[in-house]
Amino acid sequence: MHERDRGGFSTRQLHAGGAPDAPLQPRPLPIYASAGFVFTDFDEAERRFGPDPGGYSYSRVGNPTIDAVERRLAALEGGVDALLLGSGQAAVGVALLSLLEAGDHLLTAPSLYEGSRSLFTENFGRLGITTSEVADPLDADAWARAIRPETRAIFVESIPNPRNDLTDLRLVADVAHAHGVPLVVDNTFATPYLLRPIEHGADIVVHSASKFLAGHGTVLGGVVVDGGTFDWAARPDRYRHLTSPLAALGGLSHVEAGGRAALAAYARASIALRLGPTPSPFNAFLIAQGIETLSLRVQRQSENALALATWLAGRTEVASVDYSGLSDSPFRGLADRYLPDGQGSVFSFTLHGGRDAARTVIDHVGLFTRMTNLGDVRSLILHPASTTHAQRSAEQLAASGIGQGLVRISVGIEDVADLIADLASAFDALPAREPSTSTGASVTADVAVAA
């Protein structure tokens, strides 16, 4: 292992993967804002288009700024290779289109980001790929029963939002592998600082880098990390696109040419290259800037979130708080196992007063920003039932536990006393509520102890 790839997480988030060759030796990541790269002569041009290019040709194929961010992300997630893409949606799409074809089945957990759900059911559906949800994601037998002969991938989120109904990754991975199917995990809300799914059996990890990885709400991005763990050749009738010989690889298959990184090689050469969701080198630079402080931000955000969740749980206006770090959360056992260093920043709480109460609180915050992004250094607030989940029927909302009184927050790195005071003053605007357990000012002291 290279010296730069050793050490603890905070060291690796600064150094892992190294920097591109840059003759003037800048210390930060240089931005190679270039669509293409010069060929010094005829022979070099020919080489760049061959099976062993040894350099850059065109930024959709490869770019030194993007490559450096990919190496760092692969190192942080513990994978063998990573692809950086233009958005999280692009990452989910590229990862699954690298696995699935017409006639295949995708099995998912019931709690999914709406963009992923509609990509699977509508767009993949039109391509002849069927998607179904497991009934009870905590039951290994339910997963086993839901797997079909044509199932070619299982997709879950490590921390689903907004309900924080954590996934038992090891349980799902064991069932998936017993049936010869890879597990794909969207790790957006945990980040590799809190949880590295590959260590718990995942084969492929995806992220929306627009959230915590970038961290400052300035940029969109996505990541696919190949864990290098799945044996694509174990069942030769499956994943033929990875195991069949290809003229472009001199008669080798992707598995033979790419070894453990075969899936990433295929995703890069045959899916991302052709569909074209390439990030700009400038965006890659902004994501790299974010990654350098990931552990510090996520640590602080998790501490703030726990303090806020604890405070909210003590308010009479609040019916429930969905934060896995709370001692009475039904997911506390999984949080202890998978998220011992912090339970993340995004959670929801449900107000007794339903939609009207949610409207009042959201319209009366001053420090929280009303916004649909997540994972920003600033705290954000949203009403899922009327925004991100507005397309879902009342029955579907009820089934996923997203009521009209549910408010989602993404907790930033502000002073937690100020965040509590902001929510307390918004709660003061609620009509005819029962007396609260405490005032905003004194609650701050309570939470300082609880945190």
Ligand X SMILES: Cc1ncc(COP(=O)(O)O)c(C=O)c1O
Selected binder of ligand X within 188, 329, 348, 360 (CB under 6 A): 188
- What is the number of residues in the chain? 451
Number of residues counted as binding ligand X (CB under 6 A)? 14
Helices (H), 78-221: 88-97, 114-118, 125-126, 140-146, 169-178, 191-194
- Report, in Å, the least distance between residue 115 CB and ligand X: 5
Cα distance between residue 422 and residue 420, in whole Å: 5
Q: Give SS3 for 25.
A: coil
Nearer to ligand X, 30 or 88 (CB): 88
Selected binder of ligand X within 222, 342, 403, 405 (CB under 6 A): 222
- Report, in Å, the least distance between residue 44 CB and ligand X: 36
Nearer to ligand X, 204 or 313 (CB): 204
Q: Does 88 bind ligand X (CB under 6 A)?
A: yes
Contact between 187 and 206 (Cβ < 8 Å): yes
Selected binder of ligand X within 59, 98, 131, 208 (CB under 6 A): 208
Selected binder of ligand X within 70, 157, 226, 422 (CB under 6 A): 157
Contact between 372 and 382 (Cβ < 8 Å): yes
- The gap from C-alpha 424 to its chain's centroid, in whole angstroms, comes to 31
- Report, in Å, the least distance between residue 169 CB and ligand X: 15
Kindly report the number of other CB atoms within 10 A of residue 269's CB atom.
17
Q: Does 210 bind ligand X (CB under 6 A)?
A: yes
Q: Does 164 bind ligand X (CB under 6 A)?
A: no
Which of the residues 400 through 439 are near ligand X (CB under 6 A)?
Answer: none
Selected binder of ligand X within 13, 65, 89, 243 (CB under 6 A): 89
- Report, in Å, the least distance between residue 202 CB and ligand X: 15
Strands of the sheet containing 130-133, edge to edge, are 81-85, 222-226, 204-208, 183-186, 151-157, 105-108, 130-133
Closest residue to ligand X in the complex (CB): 88
Start-to-end CA distance of the chain, whole Å, equals: 38
**Residues with Cβ within 8 Å of residue 146, at least 6 apart in sequence:** 107, 132, 133, 134, 135
3-state helix, strand, coil in the chain (%, to 5): 40, 15, 45
- Report, in Å, the least distance between residue 347 CB and ligand X: 14
**Residues with Cβ within 8 Å of residue 420, at least 6 apart in sequence:** 307, 308, 311, 440, 443, 444, 447
Contact between 221 and 210 (Cβ < 8 Å): yes
Stretch that binds ligand X, among 2-10, 110-118, 190-198, 439-447 (CB under 6 A): 110-118
Nearer to ligand X, 147 or 382 (CB): 382
Stretch that binds ligand X, among 1-9, 52-60, 111-119, 172-180 (CB under 6 A): 111-119
Angle at 41 between CA 38 and CA 42, to 5 degrees: 115
Cα distance between residue 151 and residue 179, in whole Å: 9
Cα distance between residue 82 and residue 267, in whole Å: 10
Tokens standing for 204? Answer: 């492929």
DSSP 218: S
Stretch that binds ligand X, among 64-72, 84-92, 231-239, 439-447 (CB under 6 A): 84-92
Selected binder of ligand X within 13, 65, 87, 343 (CB under 6 A): 87
Q: Does 290 bind ligand X (CB under 6 A)?
A: no
Q: Does 220 bind ligand X (CB under 6 A)?
A: yes
Nearer to ligand X, 287 or 312 (CB): 287
Nearer to ligand X, 115 or 401 (CB): 115
Q: Does 288 bind ligand X (CB under 6 A)?
A: no
Selected binder of ligand X within 53, 115, 314, 354 (CB under 6 A): 115
Nearer to ligand X, 185 or 358 (CB): 185
Helices (H), 138-279: 140-146, 169-178, 191-194, 240-243, 254-258, 262-266, 273-275
Nearer to ligand X, 11 or 372 (CB): 372
Stretch that binds ligand X, among 13-21, 108-116, 194-202, 229-237 (CB under 6 A): 108-116
Selected binder of ligand X within 186, 226, 317, 376 (CB under 6 A): 186
Cα distance between residue 20 and residue 64, in whole Å: 6
Q: Does 110 bind ligand X (CB under 6 A)?
A: no
Selected binder of ligand X within 32, 113, 232, 311 (CB under 6 A): 113
> Tokens 């694509």 sit at which residue?
232
Stretch that binds ligand X, among 18-26, 72-80, 86-94, 132-140 (CB under 6 A): 86-94
Contact between 174 and 46 (Cβ < 8 Å): no
Nearer to ligand X, 88 or 353 (CB): 88
Summarize as ranges the residues that interact with ligand X (CB under 6 A).
87-89, 92, 113, 115-116, 157, 186, 188, 208, 210, 220, 222
